[in-house]
Amino acid sequence: MSKHRVSRRQFLSYTLTGVGGFMAAGMLMPMVRFAVDPVLRAEESGSFTPTKQKVDELTSKPVRVDFTFKQKDAWYESEVTSTAWVYKDDNGKIMALSPVCKHLGCTVGWNTSKEHPNQFFCPCHYGRYEKDGTNIPGTPPLAPLDEYPYKEKGGYLYLGQAKPRKEA
């Protein structure tokens, strides 16, 4: 018979340490996942989604472009439809703006206010933006509309994830 016996104190100490470690791991794992998740999502943000918009059909008049992509949230995958307002500026550069108002997130429309033509207009609290997405002082939004990065592939417009504009 072995001389190495475990005392009651040692047994309790091992047991409590094991249970404590198990519980700590259970609490820490969601926190670690929460911290790492944005990093993983940042990698995903480099992807571009195809749209049905032909680049050579774009003009200086903003058009609404809807596009759908798959979004994975933990184990749940869903299809999300987003919208962009897209046009070519005076230099022929494509502008793809998010329709999400920077005040409280309503959807802005192009040229929908008779009193303020050729602007983006938010019907919720009468927020207004210039054609280039700049918020108009004296209206509720305090920042310009987000902008989508874009690519052209096979003549079609591809859009990335909308990002806040960098201040000039």
Residue 124 as a binder of ligand FES (CB under 6 A): the answer is yes
Site string for ligand FES, 79-118 (x = CB under 6 A): ----------------------x-xx-x------------
> CA 8, 14, 18 angle in degrees (round to 5)?
145
Cα–Cα distance between 135 and 95 in angstroms, integer?
Answer: 15
CA-nearest of 102, 96, 99 to 110 is: 99
CA–chain centroid gap for 81, Å, is 12
CB 119 to ligand FES: min, Å: 13
| Member of 33, 61, 125, 153 binding ligand FES (CB under 6 A) | 125
Nearer to ligand FES, 62 or 141 (CB): 141
Contact 149, 166 (CB under 8 A): no
Residues forming contacts to ligand FES in the complex (CB under 6 A) are: 101, 103-104, 106, 122, 124-125, 127, 140-141
